[in-house]
Amino acid sequence: MGGDTAAPSLRADYFDGRSARARPVRLWLEQDQLVVHDQDLATVERRYPVRQVLWPERTRHGRRQAQLPDGGVLTTQDAGAWDDWVLAATDGRGLGTGLAATWFSSWRHTAVALVAVVAVAAATWHWGVPAVADTVARHVPATIEQSIGDHALEQLEGFLLKPSRIPEAEQREWRQRFAMMVASQPDLPANYQLHFRDTGRALGPNAFALPGGHIVVTDELLKLLGDQPDAVLGVLAHELGHVREQHGMRLTMRATLVGALLGVAIGDFSSVLAGAPTILMNASYSRDFERAADAQARQLLIDSGRSPRSMLLLFERLGDWRREREAQAKQAAASEPKGVARDMRDAAKAGAGEMLRIAFSSHPADEERMRFFER
Ligand SMILES: [Zn+2]
């Protein structure tokens, strides 16, 4: 049985939906059936009607995952091989997205699908919330992630972000530098959009990433480190790391998942998603996310022929800037009478630290981070 087919096949990992262990399998199509052949247990072969499989969208993220009707999951990191196989196996027709094409056609159905994914994942995988949230985040179609990111950016434009005062030519130069740096890793996904914005003292020298690939850089960061392009590029690389690992989306899902599991009605899930931008403005990334983004920044600096040590100067200057701000705020608070004005000043002085905790300089460099870039 199996293995002796001439149909185009693909190696992938198979999860049975009960244990977290991956099994190596080979996939191919026979008429209207998907055949999943276990590589280790030659006698085990599963068959599913192609139409009942939830095929992945061709998203930009470097992973393909298909949901099987019995709760199993097929996955591969090699998106290119997956896409090639689909084209070869279907004579170029593609598999569509199966159920997904219909199900993800509206927000309401998306909500139902998400709840189903959450429920199945939570019930069958005995993983913690972060792992389930990550699974959900990976299942969210790129278009939805994009709309959450767009929406968050729109909200921030309203009260925090103002048009940049950096001259066009200089902005173009930064864009080119970063694009060239990113191009040194042609095999990694790099779907991002750079936005230059003036945030005055609110965010200070800073940068942050939103779902959908939006990376915002403040004028003050370029002013503080304009003479050290590698350090600025290191910050952008860190933000690109958040983009590549879908940290914004995963954070959003982690924050909403607990609420969802506690019984948010199905119809309400879309409003939970609509609240995602607010979550992004109030939550902060875990240390693991920051470590992962730092690791990506370091690798990108190295791959593009730069020294990760350029980040040390950045942390130093950010530290100086922060101390200066605190001193100023303390002075101002001392000369101010108690009351509303004082409260407002306190809120203002909290500034970068409290305003947008996912932003770069809102997570101060500790010894560990500095050592990481120093090595
Ligand atoms: Zn970060």
- Specify the pLDDT at position 304: 96
Structural domain that includes position 367: 145-374
Q: How many angstroms separate the alpha carbon of residue 240 from the centre of ligand 1?
A: 9
Q: Is residue 190 part of a domain?
A: yes
pTM strictly above 0.75: no
Q: How many angstroms separate the alpha carbon of residue 286 from the centre of ligand 1?
A: 9
Q: Is residue 131 part of a domain?
A: no
Nearest in space to 212 (alpha carbons), one of 159, 295, 153, 136 = 153
Q: How many angstroms separate the alpha carbon of residue 212 from the centre of ligand 1?
A: 16
The number of domains in the chain is: 2
Domain boundary among 50, 81, 103: 103
Q: How many angstroms separate the alpha carbon of residue 364 from the centre of ligand 1?
A: 10
How far from 184 is each of 181, 187, 191, 228, 366, CA to CA, in Å? 6, 9, 14, 20, 29
Pinpoint the alpha helices (H) of the chain: 79-89, 99-103, 107-124, 129-139, 142-159, 168-182, 200-203, 219-225, 229-244, 247-261, 269-274, 276-282, 287-303, 310-334, 340-355, 367-374
Domain boundary among 48, 78, 103: 103
Q: Is residue 128 part of a domain?
A: no
Q: How many angstroms separate the alpha carbon of residue 155 from the centre of ligand 1?
A: 20
Q: How many angstroms separate the alpha carbon of residue 300 from the centre of ligand 1?
A: 15
Domain boundary among 103, 124, 158: 103
Nearest in space to 205 (alpha carbons), one of 183, 182, 228, 180 = 228
- Specify the pLDDT at position 338: 57
- Specify the pLDDT at position 202: 83
Q: How many angstroms separate the alpha carbon of residue 87 from the centre of ligand 1?
A: 37
Secondary element (H or E) of residue 10: strand 10-15
Q: How many angstroms separate the alpha carbon of residue 293 from the centre of ligand 1?
A: 6
Q: How many angstroms separate the alpha carbon of residue 57 from the centre of ligand 1?
A: 28
- Specify the pLDDT at position 228: 93
* 320 and 222, same domain (yes or no): yes
Could you give the CA distance from residue 370 to residue 365 in angstroms, rounded to a whole number? 6
* 22 and 155, same domain (yes or no): no
Q: Is residue 292 part of a domain?
A: yes
Q: How many angstroms separate the alpha carbon of residue 130 from the centre of ligand 1?
A: 18
- Specify the pLDDT at position 2: 44
Nearest in space to 128 (alpha carbons), one of 290, 319, 261, 233 = 261
* 230 and 354, same domain (yes or no): yes
Which residues partner with 162 through β-bridges?
A: 198
* 97 and 157, same domain (yes or no): no
* 212 and 354, same domain (yes or no): yes
Largest CA distance in the chain: 84
- Specify the pLDDT at position 265: 41
Q: How many angstroms separate the alpha carbon of residue 369 from the centre of ligand 1?
A: 11
* 294 and 219, same domain (yes or no): yes
Give the pLDDT confidence of 139-171 residue by residue, as tens digits.
878 888 888 889 889 888 877 899 999 999 999
How far from 201 is each of 132, 169, 195, 219, 340, CA to CA, in Å? 38, 24, 18, 10, 20
Give the total residue count for the chain.
375
* 51 and 182, same domain (yes or no): no
Q: Can you give the CATH number for the domain in which 74 is found?
A: 2.30.29.30
Tokens for 266, please give them: 């199905």
Q: Is residue 320 part of a domain?
A: yes
Q: With contact defined as beta carbons under 8 Å apart, do 67 and 52 qualify? A: no
* 318 and 223, same domain (yes or no): yes
Q: How many angstroms separate the alpha carbon of residue 241 from the centre of ligand 1?
A: 8
SS (H, E, C) 295-331: HHHHHHHHHCCCCCCHHHHHHHHHHHHHHHHHHHHHH
Q: Is residue 370 part of a domain?
A: yes
Q: How many angstroms separate the alpha carbon of residue 30 from the centre of ligand 1?
A: 46
- Specify the pLDDT at position 3: 46
- Specify the pLDDT at position 80: 87
| Rounded mean pLDDT for each run of 10 residues along the chain, 375 residues in total | 68 82 89 87 84 75 79 86 88 64 53 69 59 79 86 85 95 96 90 94 90 95 94 96 92 70 48 63 81 95 95 91 86 68 51 66 78 87
User: What SS3 class is residue 213?
Assistant: helix
- Rounded to a whole number, what is the distance in angstroms from the first to the last CA of the chain? 53
Nearest in space to 113 (alpha carbons), one of 145, 136, 93 = 136
* 249 and 343, same domain (yes or no): yes
**What sign does the dihedral 89-90-94-98 (CA atoms) show?**
negative
Could you give the CA distance from residue 239 to residue 216 in angstroms, rounded to a whole number? 9
Q: With contact defined as beta carbons under 8 Å apart, do 56 and 45 qualify? A: no
Q: How many angstroms separate the alpha carbon of residue 270 from the centre of ligand 1?
A: 27
DSSP 186-202: TTS----EEEEEE-HHH
- Rounded to 5 degrees, φ, ψ at 366 are -100, 180
Q: How many angstroms separate the alpha carbon of residue 127 from the centre of ligand 1?
A: 25
Nearest in space to 27 (alpha carbons), one of 35, 19, 15, 17 = 35
Q: How many angstroms separate the alpha carbon of residue 271 from the centre of ligand 1?
A: 27
Q: How many angstroms separate the alpha carbon of residue 33 from the centre of ligand 1?
A: 44
Q: How many angstroms separate the alpha carbon of residue 284 from the centre of ligand 1?
A: 9
* 66 and 150, same domain (yes or no): no
* 175 and 255, same domain (yes or no): yes
Nearest in space to 352 (alpha carbons), one of 220, 213, 210, 211 = 220
**What sign does the dihedral 138-61-359-203 (CA atoms) show?**
negative
Q: Is residue 248 part of a domain?
A: yes
Q: How many angstroms separate the alpha carbon of residue 70 from the centre of ligand 1?
A: 38
Q: How many angstroms separate the alpha carbon of residue 365 from the centre of ligand 1?
A: 11
* 291 and 189, same domain (yes or no): yes
Pairing outcome for strands 162-163 and 10-15: unpaired
Q: With contact defined as beta carbons under 8 Å apart, do 110 and 144 qualify? A: yes
Q: Is residue 120 part of a domain?
A: no
Give the pLDDT confidence of 17-66 residue by residue, as tens digits.
777 778 899 999 988 889 999 888 777 889 988 888 888 776 656 678 88
Q: How many angstroms separate the alpha carbon of residue 325 from the centre of ligand 1?
A: 21
